[in-house]
Structure 1
Amino acid sequence: MSSLRQRAIRLLAQREHTKLELARKLAAHGTSDEIDTVLAELETSQLQSDSRAAESYVRSHASRLGASRLRQNLKTRGVNGELIDVQLAQGALPDELERARAVWSRKFSAAPGDAREWARQARFLQSRGFATDIIRRLLKEPMGAAEE
């Protein structure tokens, strides 16, 4: 059991992991009872925290992803819905439109010239998890600015 604990601590030393992620990574190295015991011990000693893992993930990925993609990725990592809402609400996230504009400007050098290019740029932003209304506002703005 101590080797299982050491393995878990090594994983946590690399980056914050959620309870579910640790359980998945330790599954091949111990029984489910042993894993549950180690995870409970790590949580009580505050070496593992889903809240810290979610905060760390949001902080490191918010500049590249929209809120819906962040939410989905956190769910996949095993973070519960309430904690996700708290992290996305309190996180020091810039405005969604600003983040979308930053992602868009890194990828594209010019506003879409035709409907086909508009659709391509919109699909890119949508795949990054930005909301449809944000995408519309962002892609209309450069076109509106070009007309003036």
Structure 2
Amino acid sequence: MIRQPKDPEDETVIEQRAVQLLSRREQSEYELVQKLCQRGFAKEAVQRVVAKLQERRWQSDQRFAEMFYRSRVEQGHGPIKIKAEMQQRGIAAATIDKIFSSAETDWVALATDRYLRKFGAAKLSQLEPKERAKRQRFLAQRGFSANHVYAAEAAVQESLENAD
């Protein structure tokens, strides 16, 4: 059970709690405001404190989004899922677009890597339709577009043909 603060407007206490949260990991502005409000602090006071933290560069949606993007790419997630998760965390569309355009992620290579790690190499002609659909769903659920999925399958197929 979360204890209610003695004074929900006390910006010093709000700042201490915000810094504790930020010391654990980067937080988006939206996440930070949500977490502090859930702990019983007044939203207006929380927003003032977060604005101060942003002025000091202790909280930055840009920095959070860059870190989040790298983390999710390293985990093997596709662009659709990453964008959706960033939007859920309150990152502005312009910031998301900027990060995606500045990063040079090869989504097909990432999808191919995920496919090979999960299923290994197998000729598509040897797969039952249900199995092939299962493999395509796996990549789609990780956030890859249909184009990425088909390109990953083609890359796996090509690597098998080159190995022969």
Q: Does 1:11 align with 2:21?
A: yes
| Contact 1:118/1:139 (<8 A) preserved | no
| Contact 1:65/1:128 (<8 A) preserved | yes
- Look up the match of 1:85: 97
Q: State the shift of 1:137 in Å.
A: 1.8
CA distance in 2, matches of 1:145, 1:48: 45
**Counterpart secondary structure, 1:29:** coil
CA distance in 1, matches of 2:151, 2:19: 45
**Quick check: 27-36 or 138-147, which moved more?**
138-147
Structure 2, unaligned runs of 5 or more: 1-10
**Counterpart secondary structure, 2:16:** helix
**Of 50, 58, 63, which residue of structure 2 is paired with 1:47?**
58
Percent identity reads: 29
- Look up the match of 2:120: 109
Q: How many aligned residue pairs are there?
A: 147
Structure 1, unaligned runs of 5 or more: none
Q: State the shift of 1:145 in Å.
A: 5.2
Give the alignment's Cα RMSD to 1 decimal: 1.6
TM-score scaled by length of structure 2: 0.83
| Contact 1:69/1:129 (<8 A) preserved | yes
CA distance in 2, matches of 1:37, 1:65: 35
What per-residue deviation string (whole Å, max 9, x for no partner) do you get for residues 105-141 of structure 1? 2211233512111100000100011010110121234
Q: State the shift of 1:144 in Å.
A: 5.4
CA distance in 2, matches of 1:12, 1:130: 31
| Contact 1:4/1:29 (<8 A) preserved | no
**Of 73, 94, 103, which residue of structure 1 is paired with 2:85?**
73
CA distance in 1, matches of 2:160, 2:27: 46
- Look up the match of 2:108: 97
| Contact 2:112/2:155 (<8 A) preserved | no
**Of 20, 43, 50, which residue of structure 1 is paired with 2:30?**
20
Q: State the shift of 1:50 in Å.
A: 0.3
The alpha-carbon distance between structure 1 residues 6 and 109, as it changes in their structure 2 partners (threshold 3 A), is same
| Contact 1:17/1:53 (<8 A) preserved | yes
Q: Does 1:31 align with 2:45?
A: no
| Contact 1:5/1:38 (<8 A) preserved | yes
The alpha-carbon distance between structure 1 residues 21 and 37, as it changes in their structure 2 partners (threshold 3 A), is same
Q: State the shift of 1:146 in Å.
A: 4.6
CA distance in 1, matches of 2:110, 2:41: 42
What per-residue deviation string (whole Å, max 9, x for no partner) do you get for residues 27-54 of structure 1? 1231011111111111111100000000
